Amino acid sequence: MTRRTAAIVAATMCAAILVGCAAGIDGDDDHRGAFLGGIATPTPEATITPSPDSWVHAPTERGYRIVVISADDDPPTTTVLAAVDAWADEHDADVTVLAAADDDQVEERIDEAVAAAPDLVIGAGAGVVDVFALLAPQHLAQQFLVLGAQLPEPTENSTAVIWKGASFRGSGISTADDTDPSSVTPERAADAIAAGLASIRWGLTGIVVSLP
């Protein structure tokens, strides 16, 4: 399902663009600093807690190509998908949603997504985490973003946005406290996609963004 076809940008070009944008926002240091929550430079795999709404000040770019992979059709996942769709409408982005029924299909969908060379591959919710954790490190030229869950050991191309009740880290790792379906509200999901894109636009990847 594709909405608002936009300009196609190869993944390798996207990486260069993101680096250039991160280097070209010297006048935006205060907003970026607020997003970092007082951390000068996050270490790889670090978790940061941005100041509320600091992500709204990030530079934006229209014409993104996004592929979203989901493995559930429960209310939390559909809420995240709706938030991504709303963000895409606002920013004239092109969104393709690939649904998967199990881990094998998640793997197939990741392969499809990477082959399409979008600007960003988004994983919606906890159902994709186990496979994303295995495959994202194999595609370092592709940027990945997980919303409402996190990878246990994110590589430099994998970013995640979590909040209380939406911080699943993988099978055999997470606890019951990490997953509360009622925590995935439309407002939280909207903040998650905005914060995730802000982190990537500011060149802050390979980290976990924990919404306050």
- The predicted model scores a pTM of 0.85
Q: What is the pLDDT of residue 2?
A: 44
For residue 82, give Cα distances in angstroms to 76, 85, 137, 192.
10, 5, 27, 12
Cα separation, 143 vs 18, in Å, equals: 10
SS3 76: helix
DSSP state at residue 14: H
Q: In this predicted structure, what is the pLDDT of residue 18? A: 39
In tens digits, what is the pLDDT along the chain, a chain of 212 residues? Answer: 444 333 333 333 343 333 333 333 344 788 899 999 878 889 999 999 999 999 998 887 788 999 999 999 999 999 999 999 999 999 999 999 999 999 999 999 999 999 999 999 999 999 999 999 999 999 999 999 999 999 999 999 999 999 999 999 999 999 999 999 999 999 999 999 999 999 999 999 999 999 99
Domains parsed from the chain with CATH numbers: 2-210 (3.40.50.2300)
Q: So what's the pLDDT on residue 6?
A: 36
Stated as kind and residue range, the H or E segment containing 3 is strand 2-3
At residue 19, the pLDDT reads 37
Q: Going by DSSP bridges, is the β-strand pair 2-3/94-99 parallel, antiparallel, or unpaired?
A: antiparallel
